Structure 1
Amino acid sequence: MKLQARYLAGLVLCLLCSEAFSADIYVSANGTDSGNCQNSSQPCQTISYGIGASSDGDTVHIAPGSYAETGPIAINNSISIVGPQAGVDARQRVILGYSEATINIGHGFVVNANRVSFDGLQLVDSNMYAIQISTGFHGATIQNNIFRNNPNSLGLANNGASPLVVSKNAFLNGKVSAAIIVYNGNNYPISNVIVSDNLFRDNAPVAIDFEGWGPTATHSNITIENNNIQNSKYGIIFQTTGSSIVTGNTFENPPEITAIGIWIIGSNDGITVTQNSFSGGSYGVYLNQLSGYANSNIDVNRNSFGNFSEGGVGASVMPLQREGFASCNWWGDASGPKYPLNPDGTGAALVGEFELTDFEPWLKTANLNGICGNEPPPPPDDSKTSPDFAGTWRAGDKCLVISSDLIATKSSKAFGPIRIKSQDGLLMSFGTPLEPAGVYTRALITYDGKKPKFQEVRLQGKNRLKVDEYYKFGNRNPLNHFDTETYHRVRRCGWKKHVFPPQPKPNPSSVSSTQAQLLPSH
């Protein structure tokens, strides 16, 4: 017991000592580069000297004033660098004006450590990166800073062990390349990045650039949310990026300039664009493929598209798993997008070889959370349902809603409402840890109340459910031959309980003779 007590006492003492060794270091333009700079009345004069005097856990305080150093300034310890406006949203300071620590380091800060933070600074007129994070590190926090007139304000790298957060900054008058760009992105993938609540204004040519190279997605788990991106030739560029989301952002460009809100170049797999507002420039969202590398699992849903010189959504090459990828958007008018397949549409245009199933249904009002097409509204919380209710498959607090319309397949066959009951596990919404998109689940599927069939189902993106015959469990039924590629329209619902009205069976009198011949018989 005595040894244990001594051990605990030593451990507490050690922790106290560790905290005691976390020092505050002070820098002022009127200071002197001597000593350890740990006395606020005896600060360093240069930022490089103050950072050189720091150790893991220290905080370097930079007083208001102007600092011009050649750099680069290497940061080799896990430290915090705070300015006089630490904790004050940079977007607010741009409007009102504050006393700043204005830093001009020709070759910028180079971060060679984990969990380094920058807060409340103004970084201007660098020659390359204002802040460059070297590959192999993680967990940086860059918040409440103003960036002005830099070729690249941030060169990002993050190995994913902990999130890299870029929040509440203002990126102004960027030049040459991008306000935010992946550092050495062709060779080093980046993951677990959050870019939120920032202002990007007049950045030429790119505000946020997640580019890499190759046939498959390498960058992953990128969240870009609640940013305001103004007057940038390219708001966001994605290439070789997967499992990422862009949500709640506003993209604003003058209508006369050549600009794209989000450019999805190629080799991207699993990018969700939702709840954003696009206006001005050439396109809101544009998709193509580079060097033959296609995009897949791209979802552009529940966004608002305003006026563009070309179109709200354009595509030179459609994404794989395309059905419904641009559905449930507000196109600026209840008539939907302007496109030959929608002759009454007067909203923002579609440009490319679209099919009707790519973009219908659409929102009839500007409420991005409103009813899309003929879907029922969310029920009250006291509603009840069963896991295999007709038209619904649910697991936990998520569910899929299967279209109640006649469902066309690649073999031009049509079927009535369907019921799905999993036989070997959970069929979840797209991208959840328990059942990611593309993983097969065995299921019993009932078509229009007929005898259940044992088949394979898997999600492909948010809006496609692929159904194949399950060969290992009996012979194929010749009356229901799907050419191994049957697709159903699905959507996610965000409420925990859902009840559908009884699904009517198809009325043979309302089905064409060709369709009637294709309906399964038992």
Structure 2
Amino acid sequence: MYNETVIINKSIQLLGAQAGVDARTRSGIASTESIVTGPSIALIQAVADRVVIDGFTVQNNTTGPGIFTSAAFSGYWVMNNIIQNNVFGILNNSSGARYTEVRQNFLRSNNQPGAGSGNGILSDMTTSNIWVDSNLFTGHQLASVNFSPAGTATTDIIISNNRMVTDNSITLANTNNVKIFENNMTDTQGSSIFFGGSTNQTDIERNILHNSISNGINVTTFFTGVPNANIRAKYNSIQGNSNAGLQIVAGSYNVTPPNDRLDATNNWWGSPTGPAPIGSGDRVIDPGNVAEITPFLTSDPFITQQISQVLSTGPILGPPGTQTVRIEILNDDPISTAVIEIIGFYLPPNSAKLPYVHELFTINPNIKVLKSFFVNSLDQYEYQFGILNTSNVLISVWAIDVNGNVLASQRVVASEQSTISTITPNVP
């Protein structure tokens, strides 16, 4: 554990003990991690071009973010880091001269009091040329990803393939040319995608925006007072949102030529009859009549197969010490290929279950596969298995200690697993 500030002022690769290991699926056990902790203005500070920060746990900064990248430089790669319990996660600025990537990080509950509190990734200065891809977010009180600089607009941002589970909004203000695609946002504690004004040329495509406590997409001028323009939202699955699937606050969208009307066609709104008030799906609130919403999709584009069976191990309590959980899956069907979805959860005391493993794969007929995952034995854990195309699948789960011994008390054979109605939370 490093109780210090790390300042990187030259082009280097800063590699932690878990460099190259996806932060979304590893256990986070302290003995296996390079941990940088606070307090500090920022625990890891990158103030040079072409800096790589890979494979750390960055946590418990009570005065600032976990990781800071300077707007005076560019070419940052921030990947495979667990970033948790800081004031906010990453202060992600860049000059834009070189491409910056933020990928395969696990950002959790960065909500310590202070300026910027509650953001997973925050950019508060003019920046450009950034790709935020394949990260896992949970527990943030303000935003998962927040690009809302003052001054000149932030440009050329891609936000893709991220998973936000019981987290908060993707927030945009004062941006130009932003692509938001193939993100999975469930149980968002605000609007899933929030426009705060002065945005132009935003594409929102093939995202899952389910069950927010507010809106799937919310268009406002909250931050800047200036309307947004040229938003296109297509081929998204938008359903179960408490207030509306799409809300466009009066005066928040500029359709004056050469700007286009807001294109919200070809989305799924949770009903084959379309969005309310046309049908019975999520509402579209458009008092200024600035959006196109027809045609709409009559089926969810992300549901292509029916789950034959969902099994759960139930809660498993591990003994002290690092464990490897091994999962043996046999497709005993002589004809059909099995589609298997695995989701593993930690079960913290008096708290919602926390997904830490998610895999989707196929198994050919009469084939057995073996999967291995690390687990933090200080918490209970659970595995759920979605089985598609065939019910002739046998799954066994057992734990192995550091000496390679099978822990009999943690073994769950196929006959001991319970059938449940759905994999939780809703992670397609």
TM-score (norm 2): 0.64
**Separation in 1, partners of 2:31, 2:280:** 46
Determine if the alignment matches structure 1 residue 173 to structure 2 residue 106: no
Is 1:163 aligned to 2:96, yes or no? no
- 1:225 aligns to what? 160
Q: Give 1:11's aligned residue.
A: none
Instruction: Give, in angstroms, the shift of residue 164 of structure 1.
Output: 0.8
Cα offset, 1:179, TM superposition: 1.3
Give the distance between the partners of 2:291 and 2:90, measured in 1 at CA.
40
Instruction: Give the superposition deviation at 1:213.
Output: 2.9
Structure 2: gaps of 5 or more residues: 112-116, 305-428
Is the CA contact 2:66–2:89 (under 8 Å) kept in the aligned structure 1? yes
SS in 2 for 1:86: coil
After superposition, residues 73-84 of structure 1 pair within 5 angstroms as 73-84=6-17
Distance 1:242 1:267 in 2: 9
Deviation of the 1:135 alpha carbon: 1.9
Conservation of the 8 A alpha-carbon contact between 1:310 and 1:351: no
The letter for the 1-side match of 2:9 is N
**Number of aligned residue pairs:** 289
The answer to whether structure 1 residue 284 and structure 2 residue 221 are counterparts is: no
Q: CA 1:84–1:304 in 2, change beyond 3 Å: closer, same or farther? A: same
Question: Among residues 348, 353, 357, which one is paired with 2:287 in the alignment?
Answer: 353
Pick closer, same or farther for the CA change 1:352–1:209 going to 2, 3 Å. Answer: same
Code of the aligned partner of 1:311: A
- The answer for the alignment partner of 2:79 in structure 1 is 143
Aligned-residue offset at 1:323: 3.1
| Counterpart Cα distance in 1 of 2:302 and 2:226 | 32
> CA distance change for structure 1 residues 369 and 247 in 2, over 3 Å: closer, same or farther?
farther
Distance in structure 1 (CA, Å) of the matches to 2:253 and 2:274? 20
The residue number in structure 2 matching 1:204 is 141
Q: Please state whether the residue corresponding to 2:2 is helix, strand or coil.
A: strand
Q: Deviations over 1:155-209 (max 9, x none)?
A: 11111111110000000111023111114x2xxx100000000000001121111
Q: CA deviation at 1:74?
A: 2.1
Cα distance, 1:130 vs structure 2: 1.2
| Structure 2 residue 69 is matched with structure 1 residue 133 | yes
Question: Which of structures 1 and 2 has the bigger CA Rg?
Answer: 1
Runs of 4+ in 1 over 4 A off after TM superposition: 94-98
2:383 corresponds in structure 1 to: none
1:192 to 101, 104, 129: 129
Shift of 1:273: 0.5
1:296 aligns with 2:229: yes
Q: Partner letter of residue 360 of structure 1? A: T
Name the aligned partner's letter for residue 115 of structure 1.
Answer: R
> 1:182 is matched with which residue?
123
Native 8 Å contact 1:178 1:208 kept in 2: yes
| Counterpart check, 1:103 vs 2:39 | no
Q: Deviations over 1:209-263 (max 9, x none)?
A: 100235xx6101100000001222x321100111110000011116xxx511010
The alignment yields a C-alpha RMSD, in angstroms, of: 2.2
Gaps of 5+ in 1: 1-65, 371-522
The aligned amino acid for 2:185 is F
Aligned to 1:247: 181
Change in Cα spacing, 1:368 to 1:357, as seen in structure 2 (3 Å) is farther
Amino acid in structure 2 at the alignment position of 1:325: D
Structure 1 residue 83: deviation in Å? 1.2
Spell out the pairing of 1:6-17 with structure 2 (5 A cutoff): none
- Structure 1 distance, partners of 2:288, 2:280, is 16
- Give the distance between the partners of 1:324 and 1:111, measured in 2 at CA: 38
Conserved 8 A contact 1:324-1:360: no
Alpha-carbon offset, residue 355 of structure 1? 3.7
Residues of 2 paired with 1:116 and 1:279: CA distance? Answer: 36
1:471-490 alignment runs, 5 A limit = none
In 1, are the aligned partners of 2:48 and 2:73 still within 8 Å (CA)? yes
Q: Tell me if the contact between 2:149 and 2:173 (Cα under 8 Å) persists in the aligned partners.
A: yes
Q: 2:239 aligns with which of 295, 300, 306?
A: 306
**Which letter does structure 2 place at the counterpart of 1:205?**
L
2:231–2:262 Cα contact (<8 Å) kept: no
What letter corresponds to residue 156 of structure 2 in structure 1?
A: N
State whether structure 2 residue 298 is matched by structure 1 residue 364.
yes
Match of 2:263 among 325, 331, 336: 325
Q: Is the 8 A contact 1:89 1:168 kept in 2?
A: yes
The one-letter code of the counterpart of 1:334 is P
Report the Cα offset of residue 150 of structure 1. Answer: 0.9
- Greater Cα shift, 324-333 or 160-169: 324-333
Shift of 1:356: 8.8
State how far apart, in whole Å, the 2-side matches of 1:354 and 1:363 are. Answer: 23
Tell me the CA shift for residue 154 of structure 1: 0.8
Counterparts of 1:325-404 in structure 2 under 5 Å?
A: 325-339=263-277, 342=278, 345-353=279-287, 355=289, 358-367=292-301
- For residues 116 and 303 of structure 1, what CA distance do their matches in structure 2 show? 35
- Give me the whole-angstrom Cα distance separating, in 1, the residues matched to 2:275 and 2:22: 38
Larger RCO (CA within 8 A; separation ≥ 6): 2
Kindly provide the amino acid, as one letter, of the partner of residue 313 in structure 1. Answer: L
1:79 Cα deviation from its structure 2 partner:
1.1
Which residue of structure 1 aligns with residue 195 of structure 2? 264
Q: TM-score under structure 1 normalisation?
A: 0.53
Question: 1:225, 1:120 → 2: CA distance?
Answer: 21
Q: 1:163·1:192 contact (CA, 8 Å) conserved in 2?
A: yes
CA–CA distance in structure 1, aligned partners of residues 100 and 109 of structure 2 = 23
Q: Is the 8 A contact 2:230 2:262 kept in 1?
A: no
Letter in 2 for 1:169: N
Cα gap change, 1:170/1:211 in structure 2, threshold over 3 Å: closer, same or farther?
Answer: same
Identity %: 26
1:298/1:202 Cα in 2 relative to 1: closer, same or farther (>3 Å)?
same
Q: Note closer, same or farther for the CA distance 1:319–1:202 as it changes in structure 2 (3 Å cut).
A: farther
Q: Provide the C-alpha distance between the structure 2 equivalents of 1:94 and 1:112, rounded to a whole number of angstroms.
A: 30
CA spacing shift, 1:357–1:79, aligned 2, 3 Å: closer
Paired residue secondary structure (1:208):
strand
CA offset digits 1:343-402 (Å, max 9, x no partner): xx01111123164962111111112699xxxxxxxxxxxxxxxxxxxxxxxxxxxxxxxx
